[in-house]
Amino acid sequence: MIPIVIQALPRWDGRYASTSCNLAKELSKKRLVFYVDHPFTWKDVKTGDDRIGTLRPEIWSDEHEPFYRPFPDFPNFISVCPDPSLPVNALPEGKIYRLLIRLVNRKIWKVVDQVLWTFKVSEFIYINSFDPVFWGIATEKKVRLKIYHCVDNMAGERYIAKHGVFAEEKAARSADFTFSTSSALNEKMKAWNLNSFLIPNAADFSLFSKNVEKIPDDLSLIPEPRIMYTGNIGLRMDMDLIGKMAAEHPEWNIVLIGPKDLREFNGQNIENIPNVYFLGSKPYLELPEYLAGASVCIIPFFPDELTKFIYPLKINEYLGSGKPVVTTRFADLSEFENVVHITDSHSEFIDSVQLAIENNSEALTVKRKEFASENTWENRVNQIEYLHSDFLTEESVTP
């Protein structure tokens, strides 16, 4: 099968699970997938950014090939690791920025080409997953399809919105087709490209539905009931709602698992509440063990112009674990109405958590898992493969 090159904003070893990486792993079951690291900058290197890790500096040396296989279970998943680049995002839009971003992108593609030659790849399908500032494909190899993957509202991502909003429109218009994770995003893409399709997020059902014999030690020290959130802890979360839950129900213990977004964390007012626990980031493969210890799982997002574009990755992970789920109505969640408590106010949210604790049953657990079993990455990739075959022609596209 034709290999795929994916340029994605989330890195394969990001602090929380990403749609891009999960899709890439699933795609790699049938073909080579080259997952290109969103480039670090020399500023990141100088400041000792802990996201760089220990492996990348070794790869950046002249003695190592610029790729590696990070997942033993997915040997066709090839991570391509470009050298650090110029920090150009802070520059204003204009000729200097456009010149430098082209130079950075050509430097990235020089490394990508080197890896493709190593694997004897002469043609590929290109997917850009929410990293449109690097849309410019700079290679002489044949590009069979150019695809843009939209996973969030670009305007709501402070760091990348500066140049990303304009770049996303350009990418969507020049793509053979786009696919998006939510209906709202898909409608946005259709304004730029009529060949736009909805392919929602999913979950690794086999991972999250597995039987867990023992919950982690740091969680076992926290008494039940445990009201749990997993994921990025940032601007989208209604911290006042969490504070109100903790105050009205001191018998509940609210457990927040995930990284605090350094740019967007706004929960300082709840950090010292005794029944609110921040357990930090956890490896993705350990999340099912934490969810096994949850009484109820929550998605306390603000309903606003930013969150209405979200189809949360975590919702199918929660359901795959069989746990009750309570969420605000931050987006179109109508497909989940029969398996999730969808609420419209703080009081309704808190009452629904109480109801979920009291009324949980084995029958409801089974119902949730059955629902999640339909929303797997395998099914999503089958949809993408269908689009590939529908759009793919014998005549290759050259950049």
Containing 253, the helix (H) or strand (E) segment is strand 253-257
Query: What does CATH list as the number for 4-202+377-391?
Result: 3.40.50.11010
Distance CA 188, CA 193 (A): 9
Residues 6+ apart with CB under 8 A from 324: 295, 296, 297, 341, 356, 357, 360, 364, 368
Angle in degrees, 0-180, between the axes of helices 377-391 and 19-27, rounded to the nearest 10: 70
Look at the domain 205-372 and name its fold: Rossmann fold (3.40.50)
Per-residue pLDDT of the chain (399 residues; tens, 9 = 90+): 999 999 999 999 987 779 999 999 999 999 999 999 999 999 999 999 988 988 899 899 877 899 999 999 999 999 999 999 999 998 999 999 999 999 999 999 999 999 999 999 999 999 999 999 999 899 999 999 999 999 999 987 777 889 999 999 999 999 999 999 999 999 999 999 999 999 999 999 999 999 999 999 999 999 999 999 999 898 789 999 999 999 999 999 999 999 887 777 788 889 999 999 999 999 999 999 999 999 999 999 999 888 899 998 899 999 999 999 999 999 999 999 999 999 999 999 999 999 999 999 999 999 999 999 999 999 999 999 999 888 875 444 443
Residues 6+ apart with CB under 8 A from 316: 201, 202, 203, 205, 208, 372, 375
For 131, half-sphere exposure in the C-beta direction (CA atoms, 13 angstrom radius) is 23
Q: Do domains 4-202+377-391 and 205-372 have the same CATH topology?
A: yes
Each domain of the chain, given as residue ranges in start order, spans 4-202+377-391, 205-372
- 73 in helix, strand or coil? coil
Amino acid at 184: A
- Provide the 8-state DSSP code for 143: E
CB atoms within 10 A of CB 2: 15
Please report the sign of the dihedral spanned by the C-alpha atoms of residue 141, residue 145, residue 148, residue 149: negative
Beta strands 276-280 and 296-299: pairing type?
Answer: unpaired
